[in-house]
Amino acid sequence: MNAEPRSTSLARTVFTTTITVVAVVAGLYLLFLLRRPIGWLLIASFIAVALSGPVAFLSRWMRRGWAITLTLISVLLIPVAVIAIVVPPLVREGSNLVEKVPDYAREFNDYVNNNERLQRINEEYDITGKVQDWANDLPSRIGDAAELLGNLGVGIVNSVFAAVTIFIMVAFILGSGPRWVRGLLALQPAERGRRLGATLERMGQAVGAYVAGALLQAFVAGITTFIVLTILGIPFAAPLAVMTALFDLIPMVGATIGAVIVGIVTVFADFPLDTIIWVIWAIVYQQIENNLIQPRIQNRAVGVHPFGVIFAVLCGGTLLGVPGALLAVPVAASIQIAVKDWWHWRAEKAAGLELPPGAAPAVEPSAGSG
């Protein structure tokens, strides 16, 4: 008698489980297909949050629309300035290198011919002949380089399209974001909306403080690098300083990567003196940055543990590349704030309290006080 109801219940369970699994798999696949625009939206959201501080500051003296426009124009000038500083010296020196390669090859041949040991090796392996052939063929290889640059240009166009799309998203979020947030909070019960608003405000403050601190840290790294390289007489001091500042934006590992690249350049400038001086300076500066500057930014602005910073950078870099690594720390800070406020809300709800985020419960005065 009970066999039919049991079979019906089992069939319903199997059907429900199957539908749930299919829906989850389809949802994950959809997220995978949309990973690029979703990533752009996340990047645009955090950039907009970081720029909300300057926009609010300028809004005291002008309309919000003009404040947003001025802020976005200032942001656009940054990559233009970087390109203007970095690209012309590289193009100029690259052209000079191509022109001087035959001269370098002849000097190498003369050096080998004047050294008996190298001359014996050259007679066996014909090193100078191969170097001379490579130098003579270099102009004909410009076509291959042009093809490589063409493929690189396609990637640059795609990157420019992504940057323009993110820029437009940032403009929309800055212009309409506060109204969207107020509309969503208005749909919540009064107390929950107030708490969510306070949490979002704290998240925005943490992101803005981190971005401001990171930019200041990168600026200091770039300026000090430029001063040291100028004193040493290293070529490309300005482009290398800009590159160091950009790498310094990547938490934990960016400064080391930039220092290594600059160190390689010093090897070709005046080895070993300039290289030794640069290595000593890089070690000293990184100790100052890691133990004095960066902890202030991470602990005071976002309060994320260094291990959490490393893990967040690895996850962000794996998911979104360099932009993900740059945004990893503010994202981790936002998640940490959201989880803490949710935990406090659960604890207060269990205790029958309703306190604003970060507020301490009132303490009854002890007997005999006053």
For the chain, give every domain's residue range.
44-187, 191-353
**What is the reported pLDDT for 298?**
61
Structural contact between residues 320 and 301, judged by C-beta atoms closer than 8 angstroms: no
Q: Looking up tokens 């100052």, which residue turns up?
A: 288
String of DSSP letters for 209-256: HHHHHHHHHHHHHHHHHHHHHHHHT-SSHHHHHHHHHHHHTSTTTHHH
Let me know: does 333 contact 206? Beta carbons within 8 Å.
Answer: yes
d(CA 355, CA 348): 7
Q: How many other β-carbons are positioned within 10 Å of the β-carbon of residue 38? A: 13
What's the distance, Cα to Cα, between the start and end of the chain in Å? 77
Q: What is the pLDDT of residue 153?
A: 47
Residue 98 pLDDT: 63
Nearest to residue 46, comparing CAs of 342, 338, 333, 337? 333
Look at the pTM and tell me if it is higher than 0.85.
Answer: no
pLDDT of residue 280: 92
Q: Computed over its alpha carbons, how large is the radius of gyration of the chain?
A: 29
- Residue by residue, pLDDT tens for the chain (370 residues) are 455 566 677 777 777 888 888 888 988 888 888 878 888 888 888 888 888 888 888 888 888 888 888 888 888 887 777 777 777 776 776 666 666 666 666 766 776 677 677 667 766 666 667 666 666 665 555 555 445 444 544 455 567 778 888 888 888 888 887 888 888 878 878 777 788 888 888 888 888 888 888 888 888 899 999 999 889 888 778 888 888 888 888 877 788 888 988 888 887 777 678 888 899 999 998 888 877 777 666 666 667 777 777 788 788 877 777 777 777 888 888 888 888 888 888 787 777 655 555 554 444 444 444 3
Report the C-alpha gap between 130 and 128 in whole angstroms.
5
Q: Pick from 92, 55, 338: which is nearest to 238 by CA?
A: 92
Burial of 96 (0-12, 13-18, 19+ CB in 10 A): exposed
